[in-house]
């Protein structure tokens, strides 16, 4: 499911099945089961009904509040909460922010039937329990709906409810095949699959040395697991640590990788493995493309950007002080091995930044996918496993469909640069540090949409809808304080310049874009307008 260090929190009315399902779910996931009502009774030294009788509901809620605070401070748990726990604002903040929340819902008559023999429910002393439950549900349902996963249990057995939740918490594996001139390769998408990378490399026929390129932050989380798996499969792994961040995607860092490969007497039959995000993938791929005139490499992406975009298609390279990705080569991986559960440890800002590429796919290729992201924005931000896996899978399908038809970016593939023309300007002019790649792309997408609207290519509604989704996902859209002249000078070095004119990817409708040359003066004028509105806001 979500791995060590996280909680699954069940909310809902009494009789919805939180305790029964919670015990079984915890067992299936290998987590600890915690029932907050039981903890309240232990803390008070009395049954809940007795607490209500002796001291009243106010005393019960005070004990419950302290109990919940202690429970969510733990990790690796399935926590079943009392029916009224979310009514308290402090409980609500702790529970909704303390793990993956699941609302178990049921019809009032079903809950009443389940509680027919219960004598320990102090709020159900009225004659018509079904009416009482319905009244409580009417009051509480708006708060239950804030949970990230909703499951109607009225017509499910406990076994069926748990099976349903397990499918959502442990999504099935998927694979997308990408065809290229260097041969087909698979993008394998799974959940908690990282420990099986070694056998997968062996099954591919890889042998000898495996140079695992990563950075200290990712390495601290996953390198030991990868190295152990690779070694257990009979290969000889070693680690190459490079500094973390876009500003280190340089020829100097590439030289450090070369030096280590030379020192290790790395051969053409050996394998490089990129463990990390887009920067690690670009560096490792370019090293693989150029060392000994080409060695095999595998990408194990651990960020949203890498999983949905940069690991697919064979683009590799490094930055130059004058511009992003000016030095590079096309070199396809032999495998992209994606463990979506690694996104659980991704810092929130990195998660959000990567979602710009997800929105991009909806705009350029699939309006239904754009709608899916709109409908599941909160679940995506909440890292609901099956939703994240579906976002990655569909993004990979969409990118694969483009790069297969235009491997070397001769025409169609340029649509993948939507938002990137201005995005690269933002990154270059702010020094590859202040703005994440996805944040800069989000600014570029909004700029491109406004440019398209001004040129009569798209509607104001498209601009509004795209901007609204970017905002819901926490992405910026207002440009930073960069002089218009500097914007146009930097654009002049972009790879998309042809005959002195910058070509923009511009939306016509959701799912459909076109590429048009745009004069520098038009870009500068629109940039000034955005700059006046933004006042130099940073993400």
Residues with active-site annotation: 293, 315, 357, 399, 409, 413, 417, 420, 424, 437
- What are the DSSP E strand ranges found in 473-522? 497-498, 501-509, 512-518
DSSP 124-153: G-SS-HHHHHHHHHHHHHHHHTTSSEEEE-
Give the span between the Cα atoms of 383 and 226, in whole angstroms: 23
Are 68 and 94 in contact, with CB atoms under 8 Å apart?
Answer: yes
Which of 533, 374, 518 is CA-nearest to residue 457? 518
- Taking CA atoms, 466 is separated from 309, 508, 536, in Å, by 19, 13, 21
DSSP 424-461: HHHHHHTTTTSS-HHHHHHHHHHHHHHHHHHTTSS-HH
Which of 95, 98, 77 is CA-nearest to residue 1? 77
Give the span between the Cα atoms of 247 and 256, in whole angstroms: 15
Rounded to the nearest angstrom, the gap between the alpha carbon of residue 368 and the centroid of all alpha carbons in its chain is: 19
Q: Token pair of 394, please?
A: 């569909």
Q: Token pair of 298, please?
A: 């595998």
Give the span between the Cα atoms of 298 and 8, in whole angstroms: 33
Q: Which helix (DSSP H) or strand (DSSP E) does residue 160 occupy?
A: helix 158-169
Give the span between the Cα atoms of 147 and 449, in whole angstroms: 33
| CA atoms within a 13 Å half-sphere pointing along the CA-CB vector of 432 | 17
Indicate the length of the chain as a whole number: 539
Which of 474, 467, 471 is CA-nearest to residue 448? 467
Contacts 24+ apart (CB under 8 A), 43-46: 43/67
Give the span between the Cα atoms of 288 and 299, in whole angstroms: 11
Q: Counting beta carbons within 10 angstroms of the beta carbon of residue 460, is it exposed (0 to 12), middle (13 to 18) or buried (19 or more)?
A: exposed
Which of 373, 353, 377, 350 is CA-nearest to residue 362? 373
């Amino acid at each position: 499911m979500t791995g060590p260090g996280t909680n699954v929190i069940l909310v809902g009315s009494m009789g919805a099945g939180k305790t029964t399902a919670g015990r079984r779910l915890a067992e299936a996931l290998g987590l600890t089961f915690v029932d907050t009502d039981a903890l309240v009774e232990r803390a008070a030294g009395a049954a809940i009904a007795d607490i209500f009788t002796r001291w009243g509901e106010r005393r019960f809620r005070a004990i419950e509040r302290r109990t919940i605070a202690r429970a969510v401070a733990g990790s690796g748990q399935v926590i079943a909460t009392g029916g009224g726990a979310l009514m308290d604002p402090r409980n609500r903040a702790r529970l909704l922010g303390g793990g993956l929340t699941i609302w178990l819902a049921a019809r009032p008559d079903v809950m009443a039937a389940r509680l027919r023999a219960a004598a320990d429910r102090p709020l159900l002393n009225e004659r018509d329990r079904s009416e009482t439950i319905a009244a409580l549900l009417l009051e509480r349902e708006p708060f239950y709906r804030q949970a990230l996963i909703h499951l109607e249990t009225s017509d499910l057995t406990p076994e069926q409810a748990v099976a349903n939740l397990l499918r959502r918490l442990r999504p099935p594996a998927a694979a997308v095949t990408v065809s290229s001139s260097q041969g087909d390769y698979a993008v394998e998408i799974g959940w908690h699959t990282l420990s099986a990378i070694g056998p997968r490399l062996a099954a591919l026929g890889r042998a000898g040395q495996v140079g695992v390129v990563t950075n200290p932050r990712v390495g601290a989380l996953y390198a030991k697991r990868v190295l152990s798996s690779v070694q257990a499969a009979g290969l000889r792994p070693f680690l190459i640590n490079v500094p973390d961040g876009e500003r280190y995607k340089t020829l100097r860092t590439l030289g450090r990788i070369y030096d280590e490969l030379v020192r290790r007497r790395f051969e053409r039959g050996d394998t490089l493995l990129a463990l990390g995000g887009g920067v690690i993938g670009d560096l490792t791929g370019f090293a693989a493309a150029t060392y000994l005139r080409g060695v095999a490499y595998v990408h194990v992406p651990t960020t949203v950007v890498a999983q949905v975009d940069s690991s697919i298609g064979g683009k590799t390279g490094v930055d130059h002080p004058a511009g992003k990705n000016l030095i590079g080569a096309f070199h396809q991986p032999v495998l992209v091995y994606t463990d979506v559960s690694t996104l659980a440890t991704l810092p929130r800002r990195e998660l959000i930044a990567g979602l710009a590429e997800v929105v991009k796919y909806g705009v350029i290729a699939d309006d239904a996918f754009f709608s899916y992201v709109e409908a599941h924005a909160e679940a995506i931000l909440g890292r609901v496993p099956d939703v994240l896996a579906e976002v990655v899978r569909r993004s990979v399908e969409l990118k694969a469909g483009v790069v297969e038809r235009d491997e070397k970016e001769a025409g169609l593939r340029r649509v993948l640069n939507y938002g990137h023309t201005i995005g690269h300007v933002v990154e270059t002019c702010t020094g590859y540090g202040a703005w994440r790649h996805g944040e800069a792309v989000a600014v570029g997408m909004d700029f491109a949409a406004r440019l398209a609207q001004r040129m009569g290519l798209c509607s104001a509604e498209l601009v509004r809808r795209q901007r609204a989704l970017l905002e819901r996902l926490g992405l910026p859209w207002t440009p930073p304080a960069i002089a218009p002249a500097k914007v146009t000078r930097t654009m002049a070095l972009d790879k998309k310049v042809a005959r002195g004119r910058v070509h923009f990817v511009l939306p016509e409708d959701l799912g459909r874009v076109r590429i048009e040359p745009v004069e520098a003066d038009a870009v500068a004028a629109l940039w000034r307008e955005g700059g006046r509105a933004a006042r130099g806001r940073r993400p």
